[in-house]
Amino acid sequence: MRIDIWSDVVCPWCYIGKRRLEQALTESGDQAEIVWHSFQLDPSSTNDDPRPLDVRLGEKYGRGPEWGKQANAHVTTTAAELGLEFHLEDAKSANTVDAHRLLHLALELAKAGDVPADTQSRLKERFLKAYFTDGLPVGDHPTLTKLAVEVGLPEDQVADVLASTAYADDVAADQAQALAYGANGVPFFVIDQKYGVSGAQPVEVFQEAIRRANAERQPVTLISTPGTTDDAACGPDGCAI
């Protein structure tokens, strides 16, 4: 099974949705190839905005900082139910394009066999934890380098990517693909290129999508009358008499 996921590394519901999907896979016993795709919630974000997250949210949506605090409290409580520890009071403003470019590097290296197959997923997890739990600036090049090397990416290749515009077109293509699917927000999950799940849905929704995908891939079960043989059939060489 392959699951493609569009998300951002500063999106709280993306982290929550990731955990809910993982729980659904664990409970079903299914194995899945996870591929992470880029989606920037706010490409205009900067790495040097000094305002706290609640203030930034309140102003962005025209609701004020108190609304921002309530929104942060709600996702923090929801995350805690899944074992995630959010410290949104420490969250740093970040433009996430460089984090996404490194995730594309991780995917390419994994496909080439230069790093373990799960490296992209481990890097995604590390970026999410860095932002939501550790209060690290995930738009900062030294921070991104440290985190990427921590999960096994070669430091020289990380440096080359960050010093260039490598994978920028891939980031843009991912965003365009999400919009083509009709996803105006994230997280957005596509299971076996057939079933789409929009948002951090309950575990049961993921389980149902996984069940349907599995059902479509199951081999046909042959049923025959006791005592009969396969002779009563026609094949490429003709029909048995």
Taking residues 88-109, what's their average pLDDT? 98
The answer to whether 121 touches 132, Cβ cutoff 8 Å, is no
Q: What is the mean pLDDT of residues 183-208?
A: 94
Q: Which two tokens stand for residue 33?
A: 């190839």
* Confidence tier at 185 by pLDDT (50, 70, 90): confident
| Tens-digit pLDDT profile for residues 99-132 | 999 999 999 999 999 999 999 999 999 999 999 9
Collapsing DSSP states into helix, strand and coil, what is residue 240? coil
Average pLDDT of span 190-207: 94
| pLDDT at residue 105, rounded to an integer | 98
Residues 121-166: tens digit of each pLDDT = 999 999 999 999 999 999 999 999 999 999 999 999 999 999 999 9
Average pLDDT value for the chain: 91
Distances from the Cα of 144 to the Cαs of 78, 128, 207, in angstroms?
Answer: 27, 12, 33
Greatest pairwise CA separation for the chain in angstroms: 84
Strands (E), 111-209: 188-191, 195-198
> For residue 24, is pLDDT > 50?
yes
Question: What span, in angstroms and rounded, lies between the C-alpha atoms of 26 and 166?
Answer: 35
Structure tokens at 80: 């805690």
* Predicted local confidence at residue 240, as pLDDT: 47
For the entire predicted model, the pTM comes to: 0.89
Alpha-carbon gap, residue 238 to 231, rounded angstroms = 11
Distance between CA atoms of 132 and 135, rounded to whole angstroms? 6
Q: What is the structure's pLDDT at 184?
A: 81
Looking at the chain, the whole-number percentage of residues with pLDDT higher than 70 is: 90
Q: Which two tokens stand for residue 158?
A: 């990380």
Q: What is the pLDDT of residue 219?
A: 57
The confidence score (pLDDT) of residue 236 equals: 44
Does 74 have pLDDT greater than 90?
A: yes
- Which of left, alpha, beta for 134 (phi over 0: left; psi -120 to 50: alpha)? alpha
Length of the chain: 241
Which domains does the chain show, CATH number per domain?
Answer: 2-47+92-217 (3.40.30.10)
Query: Do 104 and 38 form a contact (C-beta atoms < 8 A)?
Result: yes
The residues facing 234 across adjacent strands are 239
Strand locations in the chain, DSSP E?
Answer: 2-7, 33-38, 188-191, 195-198, 234-235, 238-239
Helix residue ranges, H only, 29-140: 53-60, 65-80, 97-111, 119-132
